[in-house]
Chains A and B, each alone.
Chain A
């Protein structure tokens, strides 16, 4: 919620110190502020509830790994929608990426896996471009169809090609993954600080240590792609033209932009990023290899993270961090920790309520206060969040955020509309 109701004004924040390492992005101060606020809420909650898992290095590490596929899928959605193509086929392109990545990875190692997954994703993206851009098929229809097709195709191909070595049509033989890296002397030192359980200090050390140890090159690549996407889309001529195709293709056309070509390019990138998201699942250190259904709707979550982030790279990073964090937390510590997170949510809501009140916006302030009290009531009257709900907390949060903020979000103007050259 902080990302959408940030403190106004470009207050120059100091060094960003959050679980998602922020880079220089527009409104970067805003993003850093939001990240800092999230960290503060976590640290305070951890101190007040005694739930150390909230800020343990294990949780942060799990969050980073779970964030990656969602982030990459979301970036794929960003590229597509900025060019005016709604990409509901992200899930399908991710599925293609898992198969392509596993196939190439089995033969030629992890970097080939990345390449193979990207290639398969690009194919899916180009198919979506063919259907929506060239043939003018409705974008959502084509996306759903591509997801169906991708699921079928990978099922068929894995029966045909993976089964002989793995003896199971639903999975591949285990892959060799990337080595994990750590920023070493610092990581160990942070570990000793974390183990001391000094209130605020150990929490910060835990979060930082989780981010700085045990990461793979793919995590770095994925995080670097956020500022790269921003730079290409907002700071280059190519990006400006691409975005103009998403805002007003006819105006772009009148200025001599070949809208079809830009949409195809955007869809190729989009598919490639989604495919890389699939590879991130296949090369996840916890479980290396292709497994049928391992995407589990993460393509859709990526799309939701992108909408959550208001079609901007920084917001998208925040959205996927939220999803990744809640997911990682409930995997590491179960419903108990998510229950303690409710306490943090109520704290956050009260802060938001005060912020609104200071700006004399009484209705949002009262609503936020009510939400905070409700969250606190749930926290007070229950002992734990059932595991079943804890798993789906991110989706619930997305729904709430959309309900509150949908009117403040601004998608590209011609998003999802059919464009035909020379028809206007």
Chain B
């Protein structure tokens, strides 16, 4: 029993722990080279969490990252790379802000309508890539990158003062959303206000887990990602699944901008934050498409973001946090690959030794007996290994 448990723990935890410690080591070395004490830097970062609104800021921005990570992970489940979460979320936030500012509806309905608009716009923008992929065979990677750029232009057009924008000082912005449309948060006094959307994000995480693990649709989605041929043989319409997966991914992506829009900014401006979509890719990778893992990844990311602000006080460039984020992602994917290969070969050895016992030593198969990672699994190292156990090994 004990062996099974440690084995499970090893499969789950070894890779991330390895990766995080490796990147911490590397950043420590970088700090040492530039003449700063890594230990002080870490201490300052940890103690920063207790200061002012930092803890709540971390939670709030983790919610944003979580939504973005979920959106990317939904595509990953089907081996679709939705690089376009960035454009989807920005366009959705912009259109939702315009709609929310233009219409006046009863309080709860107003919020719901804004969220619906965001979801529809996100799904619609992803839908372009979905249709191109399903019916014209255009790689979603390239089409979503193009759509990201185009969305920047569309947004700039939409919030021009002569279309839907208003000029406020030096900044162009959409008409602010009135109180009835805002999503109330939980105020913790001088510790800050937790966005209400944080709970929506958590609920979506549960929905993600339920859909993938407990519904037929989720099973078909994962199956088409793991092996399109097997899924097709099982009667799954691959084209339909591609479109649905990207639409769902886009729908969730549409909500990425909402925590800040409905909880803090109430309008979309030219300076509204960018880059959450790309962060989402990193976080989905960190979390291995697992809802709990994504949550851990987004909290880590948000911690590095917010706590690093304190580094300026001791004269350390806070960009060291960005390096740590980048290194962590690369080491997580490499560490998982190494652990996967290690377990695969361990399993192979085990099968080989069992076979040699039953067959007798003379007939023992050569070391190349069990098939290697089948090439049909394509990027098998990628985001597919949800459970982390090498399911392809027979």
Is A37 positioned at the interface, with any CB of B under 8 Å from its CB? Answer: no
Q: Which of B30, B154, B330, B381 has the most CB of A within 10 A?
A: B330
A114 to B254, CA, bound (A): 41
Given A138-B382, A159-B319, A307-B142, does the pair A148, B153 have CB atoms closer than 8 Å? Answer: no
Counting CB contacts under 8 A, is A179 at the interface?
no
How far is A95 from B26 in the complex, measured between Cα atoms in Å?
A: 21
Min distance, Cβ A149 to any Cβ of chain B, angstroms = 3
Tell me, in angstroms, the Cα distance from A151 to B379 when the chains sit together: 25
Q: Which A residues, 131 to 154, have Cβ-Cβ distances below 8 Å to chain B?
A: 131, 135-142, 144-153
With A145-B333, A402-B138 in contact, is A423–B322 under 8 Å at CB? no
Contact across chains for B375 and A392 when beta carbons are under 8 A apart? no
- CB contact under 8 A between A141 and B372, given known A131-B330, A303-B142, A389-B153: no
B320 smallest CB distance to A (angstroms): 6
B319–A392 touching, CB < 8 Å? no
Chain A contacts of B268 at CB under 8 A?
none
**B329–A148 touching, CB < 8 Å:** yes
Q: Nearest-CB distance from A408 to chain B (Å)? A: 10
Which chain B residues in 256-307 approach chain A with CB under 8 Å?
278, 281-282, 285
Among A137, A301, A399, A402, contact of B333 (Cβ-Cβ < 8 Å): A137
Contact B319 A156 (CB under 8 A): yes
For A406, the chain B residues whose CB sits under 8 A away are 132, 136-139
Q: Mark B313-346, 1 if CB is under 8 A from A, else 0.
A: 0000101111111110110011001100100000
The reply to whether the CB of B152 lies closer than 8 angstroms to some CB of chain A is yes
A197 in the interface (beta carbon within 8 A): no
B383 engages A149 (CB within 8 Å):
no
CA distance A169 to B383 in the complex (A): 35
Residues of A near B282 (CB, < 8 A) are 144-145, 148
Nearest CB of chain B from residue A204's CB, rounded to whole Å: 32
B383 touching A141 by the CB < 8 A rule? yes
CB-CB < 8 A to A146: which residues of B? Answer: 330
Q: Is the CB of A140 within 8 A of B141?
A: yes
- Report Cα–Cα, A160/B381, bound state, in Å: 36
Interface flag for A395 (CB, 8 Å): yes
Contact yes or no, B146 A304, CB < 8 A: yes
With A138-B382, A145-B329, A399-B146 given, is the CB distance from A152 to B322 under 8 Å?
yes
Does B56 belong to the interface (CB within 8 Å)?
A: no
In the assembled complex, which residues on chain B have CB atoms less than 8 Å from the CB atom of A88?
141
**Chain A residues, Cβ within 8 Å of B78:** none
Q: How large is the interface on A (under 10, 10 to 19, 20 to 34, 35 or more residues)?
A: 35 or more
Is A24's CB within 8 Å of the partner chain B? no
CA separation between A155 and B318, bound complex, in Å? 9
B42 within 8 A of A: no
- Say yes or no: B34 contacts A141, CB within 8 Å: no
The residue of chain B having its C-beta at the shortest distance from the C-beta of A132 within the complex is: B381
Contacts of A395 in B (CB 8 A): 146-147, 149-150
Chain A residues near B322 (CB-CB < 8 A) = 148, 151-153, 155-156
Least CB distance, A172 to chain B, in whole angstroms: 15
Q: Contact at A388–B333, with CB atoms within 8 Å?
A: no
B150→A423 contact, CB < 8 A = no
Please report the C-alpha to C-alpha distance between residue A388 and residue B165 in the assembled complex, in whole angstroms: 14
Docked pose: A88 CA to B139 CA in angstroms: 13
Alpha-carbon separation in the docked complex, A402 to B334 (Å): 33
Highest count of chain B CB atoms <10 Å: which of A139, A300, A416, A424 = A300
Complex Cα spacing A417 to B141, Å: 15
Q: How far is the CB of A330 from chain B (nearest CB, A)?
A: 11
Task: From the candidates B34, B157, B333, name the one contacting A131 in the complex (CB within 8 A).
Answer: B333
Q: How far is the CA of A301 from the CA of B30 in the complex (A)?
A: 32
Instruction: Return the chain A residue nearest B323 by Cβ.
Output: A152
CB pair B379–A416 under 8 Å, yes or no, is: yes
Q: For the complex, is B160 an interface residue (Cβ under 8 Å from A)?
A: yes
In the bound complex, do residue A399 and residue B83 qualify as a contact, i.e. CB atoms below 8 Å apart?
no
Q: Taking A303-B142, A389-B157, A395-B149 as contacts, is the C-beta distance between A148 and B333 under 8 angstroms?
A: no
0/1 string, B354-371, CB within 8 A of A gives 1: 000000000000001000
Q: Which of B146, B320, B382 contacts A141 (CB 8 A)?
A: B382
Considering the complex, which residues of chain B in the window 119-178 have a beta carbon less than 8 Å from any beta carbon of chain A?
Answer: 132, 136-139, 141-143, 145-150, 152-154, 156-157, 160
**Chain A, Cβ-Cβ closest to B284:** A141
A423 touches B323 (CB 8 A): no
A304 touches B329 (CB 8 A): no
Q: How far is the CB of B34 from chain A (nearest CB, A)?
A: 6
A398 touches B333 (CB 8 A): no
Of B132, B139, B147, most A-chain CB atoms within 10 Å: B139
Residues of A within 8 A of B330 (CB): 127, 131, 142, 145-146, 149
A interface footprint on B212-238 (CB within 8 Å = 1, 0 otherwise)? 000000000000000000000000000
Q: Give the shortest distance, in Å, between A92 (CB) and chain B (any CB).
A: 9
Chain A residue, CB-CB nearest to B148 = A297
Query: Do A388 and B317 have beta carbons less than 8 Å apart?
Result: no
Task: Tell me if B373 counts as interface (CB < 8 A to partner A).
Answer: yes
Tell me which of A153, A159, A388, A424 contacts B153 (CB under 8 A). A388
- A416 and B141 CA atoms in complex are apart in Å by 13
A391 within 8 Å of B by Cβ? yes
**A392 pairs with B379, CB closer than 8 A:** no
**Taking each of A88, A135, A424, which has the highest tally of chain B beta carbons within 10 Å of its own beta carbon?**
A135
Query: CA–CA, A402 to B132, complex, Å?
Result: 9
A residues near B383, Cβ cutoff 8 Å:
138, 141
Query: Which one of A148, A304, A391, A398 contacts B326 once the chains associate, using CB atoms below 8 Å?
Result: A148
Per a CB cutoff under 8 Å, which of A148, A389, A392 touches B325? A148
Bound CA span A420–B139, Å: 25
Q: Is the CB of B143 within 8 A of A399?
A: yes
Across the interface, which residues of B come within 8 angstroms of A407, CB to CB? 136-137
A27: interface (CB < 8 Å): no
Residues of B with C-beta under 8 A to A420: 372-373
Which residues of A from 258 to 306 have beta carbons under 8 Å from B?
297, 300-301, 303-304
Is there a chain A Cβ closer than 8 Å to B66's Cβ?
no
Alpha-carbon distance between A403 and B133 when the two chains are bound, in angstroms: 9
List the B side residues contacting A131 at CB < 8 Å: 330, 333-334
* A169 partner residues in chain B, CB cutoff 8 A: 317
Residue of A138, A148, A300, A423 touching B145 (CB-CB under 8 A): A300
CA distance A138 to B142 in the complex (A): 16
Q: List 9 A-B contacts (CB under 8 A).
A: A135-B338, A139-B379, A141-B285, A389-B154, A392-B152, A399-B147, A402-B143, A417-B379, A423-B372
Beyond the given pairs A145-B329, A148-B326, 18 more chain A to chain B contacts, judged by CB atoms under 8 angstroms and listed by A's residue number, are A135-B334, A135-B337, A138-B379, A140-B382, A142-B330, A145-B330, A148-B282, A152-B325, A153-B326, A156-B319, A304-B146, A392-B150, A399-B138, A403-B138, A406-B132, A416-B378, A416-B379, A417-B375
**Nearest 3 CB-CB pairings of A with B:** A149-B326, A152-B322, A138-B382
